[in-house]
Amino acid sequence: MAIASASALVAANGPSLQFDTSFFLNFVFHPSPALLGGLAITIYASIIAQAAGVILGTFSALAGMARNPILRAMSGLYVWFFRGTPLLVQLFLVYFGTPYLFGVDLFPREMQLGPFDLRGAVVAGIVALSINEGAYMSEIIRAGILSVDPGQTEAAKSLGMTYGLTMRRIVLPQALRVIVPPLGNEFNNMLKTTSLLSVIAVEEIFRVADAANSATFKSFEAYFGVALYYLALTTIWSGFQRIIERRIGVSAAREEEREGILARLFGLGREKPEELTMPGGGR
Amino acid sequence: MTHIEEGILATLGVEEQPSDQVVVVEATDVGKWFGRLHVLKDVSLTVRRREVVVIIGPSGSGKTTLIRCINHLEKIQRGRILVNGHLIGYRERDGLLREDSERNIAHQRREIGMVFQRFNLFPHMTALANVIEAPIRVRRVPEDDAVATARTLLERVGLGHKANAYPSQLSGGQQQRVAIARALAMKPALMLFDEPTSALDPEMIGEVLEVMKELAREGMTMIVVTHEMGFAREVADRVVMMDEGQIIEEGTPEHFFRDPSHPRTKAFMSKIL
């Protein structure tokens, strides 16, 4: 529809630049309640789906490295399926497919979840995003865990620590510095990927912008305006990401120096000057 | 300050028992393969309370593997290992040994301290946090008590002033002494040392050996894989020579210095002395 209206516009006015500056500025800087509502959905859907993805991914990664072959197979199957099929298909599968499969309306129009009154489509969207994200996080967390020196696990075991304690207190905290940079990229992706929820009628910002286009035919202004919103979100997130990585990166740099020449020159028997721990922090 | 008179073990409240014949470790006909490689061939070893046993042998002789089997960091395929009379890592049912549950194995390992060649301190924790971690999380010692014990232990290994340093801020010798304190904090009945000085610069070996000697003199039961024959001569009750997965000779340190009987032992001793 957007394409048809755009070509009609070009036919009527000839090939001259069409840009309604005041509409655009108004759209961006005086956002409608609908756009603000959409922004809220985009943000909380991203955060919830990412958090759930990290949790799912952690369990999947641990299952994938378990001794039990059934757990390993389940993790492998999960990652294989959800990384190997399009998110859009998974979204439809969850929202339209599963209620049909189970014969129950899993995602009714209105859903009361504790204090929150959510639309079923939003819930279905978050569920699909979470499951999909979990599959990617599984691989990231697995790589992080494998990056930790096996001697750490042995030391923890030799002290009588159980598997759970070893993971929680010793391995995962150290895996974090390998996990966090790609995790930041995943969240950057997630902020943008929520736009797919528009196809199941979730009123996130892209859907609101699309509706503005339909109502006004100001296609470029509406889509460019919403693009700037995504850009603002990802830019703000990049700032956070840099801060987080710098904090984790400092301790990483310290560890890497342990066996390096710097440690031998400066680390023997006295406190290291703080500057020496800084280079190489973050990415 | 009376505690200066006390030993490392005394700070833990471990009673100095009279030297007796209680068996701490009893390994019987232990067999182990890495794939096709037969790394332990019917190894039997008995270690009594307060005994210090030094295991020597060329690399690849199975000495490290043997002590790693004693706290079940490695599985065994034949034989059995008892520590304080309890089967380690396995449960016996209908005459067959099955690997024990992860939780039970963890429980058994509380009694067996281990010091690694590469120290393996937790790099994201200070020296003090390394030492109190297991007592608090595993033994459920109240934090104040754990901290007090840890500070005393760090003091005893000469690192009281480094309690708040991270491992990366410590030298190899200091890290290894923290690692010893960390293992001791669990009040183990037995300490295993896997080449504790092999990764150290020569000038740091002495400080680690001093701590180990003090422990030995105080009556800690120890199994030490090392090539430090000076250490063996001073504190070992027994030296065990391994070669190609077997114990080929056993005796006092003096025996090994004066007249080792096995030709391979002779050759080996002439290389390391």
The nearest CA of chain B is from the CA of A154 a distance in Å of 7
DSSP per residue over A157-171, as a string? HHTT--HHHIIIIII
Q: A252-263 burial string, b = 16+ CB within 10 Å, else e?
A: bbbbbbbeeebb
Q: Which of A150, A103, A96 is nearest to A124 (CA)?
A: A96
Choosing among A148, A153, A159, A172, which should be mutated to test the B contact, i.e. which has the most B CBs within 10 A? A159
- The per-residue pLDDT for A274 is 39
Q: Where does the pLDDT of residue A120 fall: very low under 50, low under 70, confident under 90, or very high at 90 and above?
A: confident
- Please write the tens of the pLDDT for every residue from B174-196: 999 999 999 999 999 999 999 99
Could you say which of B123, B137, B170 has the minimum Cβ distance to residue A161?
Answer: B137
A25 half-sphere exposure, CB direction, 13 A CA radius: 3
- CB of B113 less than 8 A from some CB of A: yes
pLDDT > 80? residue A280: no
- CB of B170 less than 8 A from some CB of A: yes
Q: List the beta bridge partners of residue B91.
A: B98
How many residues are recorded in chain A?
283
Task: Output the six-digit token pair for A69.
Answer: 């072959």
Task: Output the six-digit token pair for B3.
Answer: 């505690």
What is the reported pTM?
A: 0.81
The nearest CA of chain B is from the CA of A57 a distance in Å of 23
CA A60 to chain centroid, in Å, comes to: 17
Angle CA(B172)–CA(B176)–CA(B181) in degrees, nearest 5? 150
- The per-residue pLDDT for A230 is 97
- Please write the tens of the pLDDT for every residue from A200-240: 989 999 999 999 999 988 889 999 999 999 999 999 999 99
Q: Are A83 and A53 in contact (CB under 8 A)?
A: no
- The per-residue pLDDT for B272 is 81
- Please write the tens of the pLDDT for every residue from B188-219: 999 999 999 999 999 999 999 999 999 999 99
DSSP per residue over chain B, as a string? -GGGTS-HHHHTT---PPP---EEEEEEEEEEEETTEEEEEEEEEEEETT-EEEEE--TTSSHHHHHHHHTTSS--SEEEEEETTEESSEEEETTEEEEPPHHHHHHHHTTEEEE-TT----TTS-HHHHHHHHHHHTS---HHHHHHHHHHHHHHTT-GGGTT--GGGS-HHHHHHHHHHHHHTT--SEEEEESTTTTS-HHHHHHHHHHHHHHHHTT--EEEE---HHHHHHH-SEEEEEETTEEEEEE-HHHHHH---SHHHHHHHHHH-
Angle CA(A21)–CA(A26)–CA(A28) in degrees, nearest 5? 95
Q: Cβ A154–B120 below 8 Å, yes or no?
A: yes
pLDDT > 50? residue B4: no
* Mean pLDDT value of segment B13-39: 82
**The tokens 């995943």 sit on which residue?**
A186
* Reported ipTM: 0.90
- Please write the tens of the pLDDT for every residue from B32-83: 999 999 999 999 999 999 999 999 999 889 999 999 999 999 999 999 999 9
pLDDT > 60? residue B108: yes
- CB of B114 less than 8 A from some CB of A: yes
Q: Is A111 helix (H, G, I), strand (E, B) or coil?
A: strand
pLDDT > 50? residue A267: no
CA distance A159 to B161: 24
Q: Cβ A158–B183 below 8 Å, yes or no?
A: yes
Choosing among A157, A158, A168, A277, which should be mutated to test the B contact, i.e. which has the most B CBs within 10 A? A158
Q: Are B237 and B223 in contact (CB under 8 A)?
A: no
* Mean pLDDT value of segment B136-153: 96
CA distance A28 to A25: 5
CA distance A21 to B127: 63
- The per-residue pLDDT for B259 is 87
Q: Which of B121, B115, B207, B127 is nearest to A259 (CA)?
A: B121
Q: Where does the pLDDT of residue A126 fall: very low under 50, low under 70, confident under 90, or very high at 90 and above?
A: very high
Q: Which DSSP symbol is given to A119?
A: E
Task: Output the six-digit token pair for A191.
Answer: 């902020």
Helices (H), A93-218: 98-102, 120-147, 150-158, 163-165, 172-193, 205-216
CA distance A229 to A235: 10
pLDDT > 90? residue A76: yes
Q: Where does the pLDDT of residue A5 fall: very low under 50, low under 70, confident under 90, or very high at 90 and above?
A: low
Contacts of B165 in chain A (CB under 8 A): 271
Q: Cβ A267–B171 below 8 Å, yes or no?
A: yes
Q: Are B208 and B237 in contact (CB under 8 A)?
A: no
Q: Where does the pLDDT of residue A158 fall: very low under 50, low under 70, confident under 90, or very high at 90 and above?
A: very high
**The tokens 């019917």 sit on which residue?**
B42
Q: Cβ A155–B121 below 8 Å, yes or no?
A: yes
Burial of A48 per CB tally in 10 Å (0-12, 13-18, 19+): middle
Distances (CA, A) of B34 to A148, B27, B51, B75, B242: 23, 19, 30, 10, 17
CA distance A139 to A231: 27
- φ, ψ of residue B235 to 5 degrees: the values are -125, -10
Q: Are B150 and B132 in contact (CB under 8 A)?
A: yes
pLDDT, averaged across chain A: 84
